[in-house]
Amino acid sequence: MIDQINRILFNDVLGALKDKFGTAGDAWWLKGVPKSVRNECDKQYNESDGERERWRYLYLINYSEIIQYDDNWDMFKDFYNFYGKGKKADLVRWISKINKARQITHHAEKGPLSRDQVDFVRRVQRR
């Protein structure tokens, strides 16, 4: 379920940015992704053999930053706001909770998810 949620975020967020800003000259990347996120991806890209594009180094947690960045929120607030009203960071905190669950499920030594975490992942996946 967590991988499915991650794929949905990846496809939806990047697709929306490409639709809004276009793909010419990586406009969607430069205009729609915060510089701090781009810099982190660049670091990993520069340490690689260059076989993947820079944006392939995004992490699940980065989508929270991208969704909130500049006026991106206007595109995403109706779909990614799980909590109603408040600060943007509070409204997308579910991504951080999913990321924490992912860190557990993708690292066997960290043990299984708690029942509450499983229930939360299921609620997000159904949404």
What is the reported pLDDT for 96? 93
What is the reported pLDDT for 107? 86
Could you give the residue ranges of the DSSP H alpha helices within the chain? 2-21, 27-32, 35-46, 62-68, 72-80, 88-91, 93-105, 115-126
What is the reported pLDDT for 22? 97
**Domain limits for position 82:** 2-126
Is the pTM value of this prediction over 0.85?
A: yes
12 in helix, strand or coil?
helix
What is the reported pLDDT for 109? 84
Rg, Å, the chain Cα set: 15
Domain count, the chain: 1
Local mean pLDDT, 10-residue blocks, the chain (127 residues): 92 97 96 98 93 93 96 93 86 92 87 88 86
What is the reported pLDDT for 111? 79
What is the reported pLDDT for 61? 96
